[in-house]
Chains A and B, each alone.
Chain A
Amino acid sequence: MSMKNIVEMHNIVKKFGSVVALRGVNFHVRENEVVGLVGDNGAGKSTLVKILFGIHAPDEGEIIVKGMKFKRLNPKLAYELGIVLIHQERTLCLNHPIWRNVFMGREITNKLGFLKISDMKKTAYNSLSQLELTRMPVETPVKYLSGGYQQGVQISRALVFEADLVILDEPTAALSLAETHRVLEYVNELKKKGKSAIFISHNIYHVYPVADRFVILDKGSVVAEFYKKDLTPEDLAEIMVSIARTGSVPEKYKELNLYGRTQPT
């Protein structure tokens, strides 16, 4: 495993009015690593990745992407840095065809800004075929696609944009079992291509198969971090329950907890 960090977030604090969503979070993702970001509702998972993607500005802390320091990002800049955020349905235009959704915001155009439609369709098709998503023609409006297929379209957007880090915010939340399985396959596909990913879910059985490392957030702070190789899914479940109840990691796992030891320098 490469040890280089693609993204580092240092001491991130975010308040919404009087509510403190994040209390000095340190977080990093290495190259070609899938990080499972887990924790209860309201733990701050979505807020953290929204700061990374530039939707929210942090109140304190700094973000380092590929060695460049930022006080805050914005979505456009995040795209340019190779970060793509995928959210359940939220980043698709349902009335529009697959090919337009793949290129949304980064159209292939001539110098005057007119779309190169056949190029876009062809590139979209090629990227979709890497995920074996060619059952529907690229002209199909996205609203006709199942939830898993829609996630596939978003992932192929990340592939076309040559994103290095794909953030998946609850990508399996509303999916059937078979569909969830497909999305997990897409994540494996990203990893094979050398990409990094952050996978957010409440459901540890969705995160477990794809993640290399787990970061557990609770009430706005990182409380634990484990390598997958050190834990079974049942261990992870036990840890999560314990954190939800008592706020701390059970004694027998404390040895394995990486948090505070693997922080980037």
Chain B
Amino acid sequence: MTGIHGLKRAWRVISEYKLQIIITVIFLVIWLTFYTINPSAFANPFAYTSLMTVAPYTIIPAISLTLVVITGEIDLSFSSIMAFGPLIMAMTWQVQGEASLLGVILGLLGGLGAGLLNGVLITKLGIPSLIATIGTTFLWRGVVLVATQGFSIPLGEYRGSPVFSALVGRFGDIPIQFFWTIVLAFIFWLFLNKHKFGAYIYYIGDNRVAAQMVGINVDRVLITVYAIHGVVAAFAGMIATLAMATFYPTLGDIYMLKSVSSVVIGGTPVTGGVGTIYGTFIGGLILEFIEMGVVAAGVTGFWIRLVHGLVIIVALAAQGILRRREIIRARIMRLITT
């Protein structure tokens, strides 16, 4: 009996984490494929160091974006906030003549303000999030371009300062930004799964009317989620800026599609209500692995987008099939649970 019980339990766990298991398998298959094609590149620890250096730019904003998507909303403006936050930091440093913590804090506050604006536009003025954040994408990018006149800001002179070491230094061979990525992923996972706030995020995405009817302050939760996403995007932008020791006014543009893709590959549907931080994390790694693999395979970088596109479509198709089966399963279950 206990054996059967154990099996039943195991099966329940497997079906509960089905999507995470599938995404992990896809990740391993991709890794093995590249490893087989080019063992010398993929056995080299340097490859993983460089992966851990660049992956955070995509994964960090994708982690907080996951919360936004679970609520059933979207945010595109994080790509511009990724430039707006570090712009404030870089300009503060220029004025002060040192790589100060104040600059970092002001930059994060800039991200907070931008996120709050998104939240207020969407909840209090009722503007659909897609439209509102397209607007703020242009707004913050515009601010950056006007402030810099399109020129980049070199920050090489501050290299070696404590702020640099804390954000983009090395811990042995491990880039510190990867450590921050894991810390953030853990914190977000913890809040999403074990905290009241995370529960409200899921409920709002699953059934907003129900969330309102049980007394959850939907507007406040949404504004908070957008604000957090703004801060995290600014943080990711700072890491990218410091890693290159230069502030580029175009920073963030390419991460918009990559971070959104990480979220959807990771199994968080844009319809909201479900989704995981783990999936997003692996989704981001998959995209980075593909880039690395394509480069290591010795073909031109033009292939990257093509392979990205294929993987996104395959992942979404797999999820689509799963969800459809899930709907049928739910219908059958409903009949037998009377």
Partners in one complex: yes
> Which residues of A approach B to under 8 Å, CB–CB?
53, 55, 74-76, 78-79, 85, 87, 90-96, 100, 104-107, 109, 112-115, 117, 135-137, 139, 141, 143-149, 176, 178-179, 182
Q: Which of B318-338 contact A (CB under 8 A)?
A: 329-330, 333-338
Chain B minimum-CB-distance residue to A79: B215
Evaluate whether A91 and B206 lie within 8 angstroms (CB atoms) in the complex, with A144-B333, A146-B338, A149-B337 already known. no
- The answer to whether B194 touches A114, judged by C-beta atoms less than 8 angstroms apart, is yes
Query: Which of B106-114, B129-137, B195-203, B250-258 makes up part of the contact surface?
Result: B195-203
- The answer to whether A90 touches B213, judged by C-beta atoms less than 8 angstroms apart, is yes
Chain B minimum-CB-distance residue to A139: B12
Q: Does B161 contact A (CB under 8 A)?
A: no
Q: Which of B178-219 contact A (CB under 8 A)?
A: 194-197, 199, 202-203, 206-207, 209-217
Interface size on B, residues (CB 8 A): 30
User: Which of chain B's residues have a CB closer than 8 A to the CB of A85?
Assistant: 213
Q: Which of A79, A105, A115, A176 contacts B211 (CB 8 A)?
A: A105
Q: Which of B234-289 contact A (CB under 8 A)?
A: 273-274
- The answer to whether A96 touches B202, judged by C-beta atoms less than 8 angstroms apart, is yes
Sample (28) of A-B pairs whose CB atoms are under 8 Å apart: A75-B213, A75-B214, A75-B215, A76-B215, A76-B217, A79-B215, A87-B213, A90-B213, A92-B207, A93-B203, A93-B206, A93-B273, A94-B207, A95-B206, A106-B214, A106-B215, A113-B195, A114-B195, A115-B194, A115-B196, A115-B199, A139-B12, A143-B330, A143-B334, A144-B333, A146-B338, A148-B338, A149-B337
User: Which of chain B's residues have a CB closer than 8 A to the CB of A135?
Assistant: 337
Complex-state Cα separation, A21 to B207, whole angstroms:
26
Q: Which of B203, B330, B338 contacts A149 (CB 8 A)?
A: B338
Chain B minimum-CB-distance residue to A86: B213
- The answer to whether B338 touches A176, judged by C-beta atoms less than 8 angstroms apart, is yes
- The answer to whether A147 touches B334, judged by C-beta atoms less than 8 angstroms apart, is yes
Instruction: Give the residue among A74, A113, A147 with the most B Cβ atoms within 10 A.
Output: A113
B 9-21 to A, binary, CB cutoff 8 A, 1 in contact else 0: 0001000100000
